[in-house]
Amino acid sequence: MDRLGALETFVCVYECGSFSAAARRMGIGQPAVSKAVMQLEQQLATSLLLRSTRGLTPTEAGQQLYDRIAPALTEIRDAQDSIVGGNQLSGRLRVSAPVTFARLHIFPRLHQFMALHPELKVDMLLDDRPVDLIAEGIDVALRLGDLHDSGLTARRIAESPMKLLATPGWFAAHGVPTAPPEIEQQDAIVYLQSSTPENWLFSRGAQQCRVTLSGRIRTSAAEGMREAVLAGNGLAIASAWMFAPELADGRVVTALDDWQIGTMALWAVYPGGRLTSARAWAFTEFVAGCLSPIV
């Protein structure tokens, strides 16, 4: 491995915190990662990382090298991206996204982004729960709802209204609520990833009404939420994004539309400690464009 490749490997190991995580991020074997860092240490005649049972810790020299090299490598990659093929991007982009959101809104349009950048490879890591961006080597993460980590660099992309919804069959059998308190008399599907899964504030002008959902089914996955609602197990409060196809074709309908229940924000989140790549910025812009017709 040449000097530049060894430096890139060291930066990856530093950011991931382990040789194995760096190997997964780079798509190569762990022995090759370890060998590259060892050879770099030999060339520089100094130790860059301290190995222990608790993991890797950068030495003073390792920290200084990272602080100076990481921004430079980002600049090099961005320069290459801007020169090769004009606005075309190359390399590998690692994206973290919620499962259902990616399935409904990203994958159906992803071919358009790939066509713009034929030299780019994309890894989509899907999980409804936040992942460690550094450990997983994520370039950009799409996250829904409130952000709780103030140390992250984030951009608000769009927002979707929260809706009270169910299948037409459910409302036909149990009645369409005409006021927020009536919701508490029906079974609800509770989504545990919400910041307040069971308690919601309804607003209409100066009026406000707090509602506590009552339901026997609670789920931590959006896919479970969707299937439970579509199977007629109860009503739910969810973003319009989560049920976009069904709201469009009438398989799911809304109620109490004259009341506001807040919004669901979509964020692009970037790992701290290093510059955001041109690939991550381009993907963020692409996602924003995908959502503009349906927000």
Which CATH number is 194's domain given?
A: 3.40.190.10
Domain membership flag for residue 295:
no
Same domain, 55 and 149: no
Same domain, 25 and 77: yes
Where is the domain boundary, 35, 59, 83? 83
Same domain, 136 and 220: no
**What does the pLDDT read at residue 22?**
81
Same domain, 78 and 36: yes
Domain membership flag for residue 221:
yes
Domain that includes residue 218, residue range: 160-264
Same domain, 151 and 201: no
Mean pLDDT for the stretch of residues 95-109? 94
Domain membership flag for residue 148:
yes
**What does the pLDDT read at residue 1?**
62
Tokens of 208: 């406000």
Tokens of 131: 């992942």
Domain membership flag for residue 60:
yes
Spatial contact of 74 and 7, defined as CB atoms under 8 Å apart:
no
Tell me, what CATH number does 55's domain have? 1.10.10.10
Helix count (H) and strand count (E) of the chain? 10, 13
Query: Which pLDDT tens digit goes with each residue over 191-249?
Result: 888 777 788 999 999 999 999 998 899 998 999 999 999 999 999 999 999 999 999 99
Same domain, 73 and 115: no
Contacts of 166 (CB under 8 A, 6+ apart): 229, 232, 234, 235, 236, 252, 253, 255
Position 274 confidence tier, pLDDT thresholds 50, 70, 90: low
Query: Which pLDDT tens digit goes with each residue over 115-173?
Result: 999 989 999 999 888 888 877 878 899 999 887 765 667 889 999 999 999 999 999 99
Mean pLDDT for the stretch of residues 249-266? 95
Same domain, 56 and 130: no
Q: Any bridge partners for residue 97, and if so which?
A: 126
Same domain, 167 and 252: yes
Domain membership flag for residue 227:
yes
CA of 45: how far to CAs of 6, 63, 185, 188, in Å? 14, 15, 72, 64
Tokens of 198: 């069971």
What DSSP string describes 232-276? TS-BEEEETTTTHHHHHHTSSEEE-TTSB--EEEEEEEE-TTSPP
Cα–Cα distance, 84 to 81 (Å, whole number): 6
Domain membership flag for residue 190:
yes
What average pLDDT does the structure give for the chain? 86
Position 83 confidence tier, pLDDT thresholds 50, 70, 90: low
Same domain, 137 and 111: yes
Same domain, 164 and 260: yes
Cα–Cα distance, 69 to 64 (Å, whole number): 9
Mean pLDDT for the stretch of residues 100-112? 94
Cα–Cα distance, 89 to 284 (Å, whole number): 14
Would the pLDDT of 275 be above 60? no
Where is the domain boundary, 83, 118, 134? 83
Tokens of 197: 């899964």
- 19-23, 47-51, 245-249: which is most confident: 245-249
- Global pTM? 0.72
Domain count, the chain: 3
